[in-house]
Amino acid sequence: MADSFTTRTINVTTGSTETVYDLTAACGSFLREVAPGRDGLLNVFTPHATAGLAVIETGAGSDHDLLAALHQLLPADDRWQHRHGSPGHGRDHVLPAIVPPHATLPVIGGALELGTWQSVVLVDTNRDNPRRQVRLSFLG
């Protein structure tokens, strides 16, 4: 059985454009504070119906490629039945079915056990809501 559970909500401002926002540093900072030298799991969750979380490479174009792929898969046009907000906003409500609002990651020795090029990111295609919350929870 785990020795402890610690959770914290962080606020993220994503702006008025579609964004892949890197959370890796925030996750690392949280773990250094609450789990120094410990093993366990980090759960990352965003309580929004129009955002998701992914583990991808950033900075080499993959973040832009992800947004481009989502544009092809979920075009921002008038095909969506969910029609409030900016044009094509209905697709933002479909996003979490493809890019889930949660990720659970291994923590070894108090640090995220990510691959060399992996980052934890918030994927936000909703231009109508620039303020997001992300809950970080360590179980270990």
Residue-wise pLDDT for 14-68, tens only, equals 988 999 999 999 999 999 999 999 999 999 999 999 999 999 999 899 999 999 9
Q: What residue numbers bound the domain in which 57 lies?
A: 5-139
Q: Domain of 15: which CATH number?
A: 2.60.120.460
If phi over 0 gives left and psi between -120 and 50 gives alpha, with beta otherwise, what is residue 54?
beta
What are the helix and strand counts (H, E) for the chain?
3, 8
Contact 56, 80 (CB under 8 A): no
**pTM score, two decimals?**
0.94
Determine the Cα–Cα distance for residues 29 and 106; give it in Å rounded to an integer: 15
Number of domains in the chain: 1
Q: Tell me the C-alpha to C-alpha distance, in Å, between residue 78 and each of 28, 71, 100.
A: 40, 13, 23
pLDDT in tens, 67-104: 999 999 999 998 999 888 888 899 999 999 999 999 99
